[in-house]
Structure 1
Amino acid sequence: MTPQDLDLPSPAAMSRLDLFGDEFVRDPYPWLDALRADAPVHQDPGTGLWLVSRYDDIRRVLLDPAPAVFHPDNAQDAVTPLPVGVLRVLARAGFRLPPALANNGTDSHHGLRRVVTRFFNAQRVAAAVPVIERIADELLDAAQRRLEATGSCDLFEVYAQILPCRVLMELLGIDGVDPATLIRWSDASLELFWGRPAPERQLELAALVGEFSQWLTATVSAAPARPGSFVEALSRHRLPDGRPLDVGTAVGVCFFVFIAGQSTTGQLISTTLHRALTEPRLWSRAADEQGFPEAWVEEVLRREPPVTTWRRVAAEPVTLGGVDVPAGAQLLLMLMGSGSDPEVFDAPDHMCPHRANARHHLSFGVGRHRCPGASLARTEAAVALRVAARRLPHARITPADERPPILGLLSFRAPLQVRVAP
């Protein structure tokens, strides 16, 4: 069977693949299917990145044992080169990204990761459920008032993006800043480092990222840290040589945790709600059926995760997927495409809650760098869906929002609008 038989882009068409273009952002699946079928390890001429699209190859890279062939050093590098003016803005703010979590291949990674996983352990996540439910109810009170007053409401704006931010603030013991500011800083960071902004936009984003960095530095440096807070846990941590954690690395850890804990979780909630509202009878099942919201979230993570790709760099020449990859190659692991690999998932283009191997997806990574907040993200998305479906039982997606604007960064994708009518 040829790509034409499957209505996939032909191998020759790969030359016009644009990872930031509307065609790919709006519907990446034909491209991901074609890559997986015909070019499982493909160097993208637009970015220079080597796109790795088959499940087994991606899993191999992520599980790479020490001493590693595939290093995480480039995980948080700016995809679009930062001009001198932008670098100056960041430097004046004292911003830097030392090896901390996602970009850390050094011997300090294990200990830093342990701090995060212990803080977001199963007991803390279970204890957070009433907090999530309380905040969800508060936000949906406002959503209901807006629905009654205007006849429509954007659940992304008033619910999906705010809920994880407020939950994270409570769990981390953060105050003195409003959620809207944290969301603006976090989203600016995503766009600057994973987007393709114009130079003028880069300067605007850099100013916001600089503000974020300065606030994080002040928060981490404040003494004494609030007892039981995440900052206190970082202050007690010791590096492999026995030294206390330096402020710059602590800021790098917090930078990653804040972005993952609010922006990407908000994106997961947005996708979860939008897909549930567009599937017949699914909204009522989410409200009433025990275990269904959790199963639905898992299928969303498999098929349409908020983190669509992740990066690695080859430290030496290596053969991957039958392709010789040179040393220094910048790899882009197509996590979103791996969840639709027919070698692993039956009928991958169909959403099948409760599928037997649903949790085999790679959307949270696997191995040493698996997302330490995966349990919290899953829980927040499931609670957000259940509470919204119960509180707004007659909500329906407005016709104009069946195809909403989509966030289209290199590694992040989600609906930017979930407008509903009563």
Structure 2
Amino acid sequence: MIIPAGGSPLPDTCAGLVGSHDSAVGSTAHPAPRPPGHLDHLDLFGDDFVRAPYPWLELLRTAAPVHHDSGTGLWLVSRHRDVRQVLLDPAVFRPDNAQDAVTPLPVAALRSLARAGFALPPALANNSTDSHAGLRQVVTRFFSPRRVAAFVPVMERIADELLLSVRGRLDTDGTCDVFASFAQLLPCRVLMELLGIEGVAPATLIRWSDASLELFWGNPSSRRQAELAALVGEFYTWLSATVEAGTAAPDSLIGTLARHRLPDGERLDTKVAVSVCFFVLIAGQSTTGQLITTVLRGALTEPGLWQRVAHEAGLAEGWVEETLRREPPVTTWRRVTAQPVRLGGAELPAGARLLLMLMGTGSDPEVFDEPEKMCPHRPNARRHLAFGVGDHRCPGASLARTEAVVALRAAARVLPHVQLADSSTEPPMLGLLSFRAPLHLAVTG
């Protein structure tokens, strides 16, 4: 649920973003990069793809909508209709591999995880068993639209507190990285209050979460994998101890999981409860922080938007939705075929590992007119697949949308004259297999 905008109906075209002003309306999100090479040269972790994915995604959709990538061994599924088909049929396209390490872990990393007792049994994103529906229901209750809407004052309080600190740093130093000081911290602190998480500093939880993303979805060196595994082990040890302590408030997520019964009437195994929390704590703050950073950077780049977004009804919601369509923080997701199947003209064997190009589906011209343009009043913007669809649709979609809207409005209100420190230079990008966002957002003003 997006926070209700109120007011009159929004225009149904790209026009109308900045009213009668002469700013660039419905601007292109990025300058046109050079055309990609042959698909055999595609490197999903390479700088060419991470910085300029759209030409590659277009080439995939038009030349090979279901393409076998020799570098990863994954089948890349890029058309909106094909990705939607996969997501709506979890019996044939199973989620079992969704959280597997993309890059095989070396012995040193495996030993480090083993010492922590690390295990992620099927729980949410990787669960194709009959326990999934009940576990998902538990988690969804904490992120329901009604609960999220009631939590907006908490989000606004935390946002204002963090932005006042940003304002102070700008006054003192002249510049500030809004990614580290605001976009990352806001969803982490909100999630901790929403779920009743205590006993850990937000900075520590962010560090653990980022390490988990890089270890399981990145392509780090063996030495780096060992370093990341140590941090992930710390995260898992703390999380296990927190779940096993039995001291969580009954109405907290951990307390609710402790009372949860499986379809056969048995209590939930502790490791499954830890697996649920592991996924929720990462998805609920890291990916939302990435979304907020992308939303803010785009809004600061779009002529005329920043000055109006804090007060114009529906504009913040529309900008967030277009960002989710065009530049979602979760760019891909994985599935594995349970049986031989035909998809997008390709014959796939049982056990084929798929990579669903979620980011590319938001730019599919079969679904979205002028997909390269950011149109906050686009009538069908929410047909994007940034949160998935079907039984495994992201349970935190309402929270992510609402936090991004709150963050954008608050930042534009508290920092009305802020500008990008260097708008001519692209920031370093997080370039994991399934996650993409700016890693810095330096501003002045």
Give the TM-score band, short-chain normalised.
over 0.9
Q: How does 1:210-229 map to 2 (within 5 A)?
A: 210-229=233-252
- 1:192 and 2:215 are equivalent in the alignment: yes
2:60 is matched with which residue?
35
Q: How does 1:349-364 map to 2 (within 5 A)?
A: 349-364=372-387
Give the C-alpha shift of residue 392 in structure 1: 0.3
Give 1 or 2: higher helix fraction: 1
Q: How does 1:61-76 map to 2 (within 5 A)?
A: 61-64=86-89, 68-76=91-99
Q: 1:124 to 1:300 in 2, by over 3 A?
A: same
Structure 1 runs not aligned, ≥5 long? 1-5
Give the C-alpha shift of residue 127 in structure 1: 1.3
SS at match of 1:353: coil
2:422 is matched with which residue?
399
Q: How does 1:157-236 map to 2 (within 5 A)?
A: 157-236=180-259
Report the RMSD for the aligned CA atoms in angstroms: 1.1
- Quick one: distance in 1 between partners of 2:242 and 2:414? 36
Aligned residue among 255, 269, 276 for 2:278: 255
Point out which structure has higher relative CO (alpha carbons under 8 A, 6+ apart).
2
Give the C-alpha shift of residue 311 in structure 1: 0.1
Aligned residue among 83, 88, 94 for 2:111: 88
Match for 2:353: what amino acid? Q
Match for 2:402: what amino acid? T
Q: How does 1:21-170 map to 2 (within 5 A)?
A: 21-64=46-89, 68-170=91-193
- 1:246 and 2:269 are equivalent in the alignment: yes
User: Contact (CA 8 Å) 2:258, 2:267: kept in 1 or not?
Assistant: yes
Cα deviation digits, residues 15-40 of structure 1 (max 9, x gap): 11000001100010000000001110
- 1:9 and 2:32 are equivalent in the alignment: no
SS at match of 2:45: coil
Moved more, 81-90 or 197-206: 81-90
- Quick one: distance in 2 between partners of 1:309 and 1:137? 33
Cα deviation digits, residues 313-332 of structure 1 (max 9, x gap): 01111111001111111000
2:11 is matched with which residue?
none
Match for 1:164: what amino acid? P
Give the C-alpha shift of residue 358 in structure 1: 0.6
- Quick one: distance in 1 between partners of 2:264 and 2:302? 54
User: Contact (CA 8 Å) 1:278, 1:402: kept in 2 or not?
Assistant: no
1:374 is matched with which residue?
397
- Quick one: distance in 1 between partners of 2:144 and 2:346? 40
User: Contact (CA 8 Å) 2:331, 2:386: kept in 1 or not?
Assistant: yes
Give the C-alpha shift of residue 122 in structure 1: 1.9
- Quick one: distance in 1 between partners of 2:108 and 2:56? 36
SS at match of 1:284: coil
SS at match of 1:352: coil
Give the C-alpha shift of residue 227 in structure 1: 2.9
Q: How does 1:272-351 map to 2 (within 5 A)?
A: 272-351=295-374
Match for 1:404: what amino acid? P
1:3 is matched with which residue?
none
User: Contact (CA 8 Å) 1:187, 1:263: kept in 2 or not?
Assistant: yes
- 1:268 and 2:291 are equivalent in the alignment: yes
Q: 1:9 to 1:172 in 2, by over 3 A?
A: same
User: Contact (CA 8 Å) 2:301, 2:423: kept in 1 or not?
Assistant: no
User: Contact (CA 8 Å) 1:183, 1:263: kept in 2 or not?
Assistant: yes
**TM-score calculated relative to the size of structure 1:** 0.96
Structure 2 runs not aligned, ≥5 long? 1-32
Give the C-alpha shift of residue 236 in structure 1: 1.4
User: Contact (CA 8 Å) 1:44, 1:50: kept in 2 or not?
Assistant: yes
Match for 1:394: what amino acid? H
Give the C-alpha shift of residue 174 in structure 1: 1.2
Match for 1:19: what amino acid? L
User: Contact (CA 8 Å) 1:404, 1:415: kept in 2 or not?
Assistant: yes
Give the C-alpha shift of residue 402 in structure 1: 4.1
Give the C-alpha shift of residue 7 in structure 1: 6.5
- Quick one: distance in 1 between partners of 2:149 and 2:258? 25
- Identity percentage of aligned residues: 71
User: Contact (CA 8 Å) 2:35, 2:55: kept in 1 or not?
Assistant: yes
- Quick one: distance in 2 between partners of 1:8 and 1:400? 23
Q: 1:224 to 1:176 in 2, by over 3 A?
A: closer
User: Contact (CA 8 Å) 2:196, 2:249: kept in 1 or not?
Assistant: yes
2:44 is matched with which residue?
19
Number of residue-to-residue matches in the alignment: 413
Query: Moved runs in structure 1, 4+ residues, more than 4 A?
Result: none
2:8 is matched with which residue?
none
SS at match of 1:156: helix
Match for 1:138: what amino acid? E
User: Contact (CA 8 Å) 1:307, 1:335: kept in 2 or not?
Assistant: yes
- Quick one: distance in 2 between partners of 1:302 and 1:386? 19
SS at match of 1:332: strand
Moved more, 216-225 or 48-57: 216-225
SS at match of 1:79: coil
- Quick one: distance in 2 between partners of 1:164 and 1:178? 13
- Quick one: distance in 2 between partners of 1:214 and 1:95? 8
Q: 1:7 to 1:21 in 2, by over 3 A?
A: closer
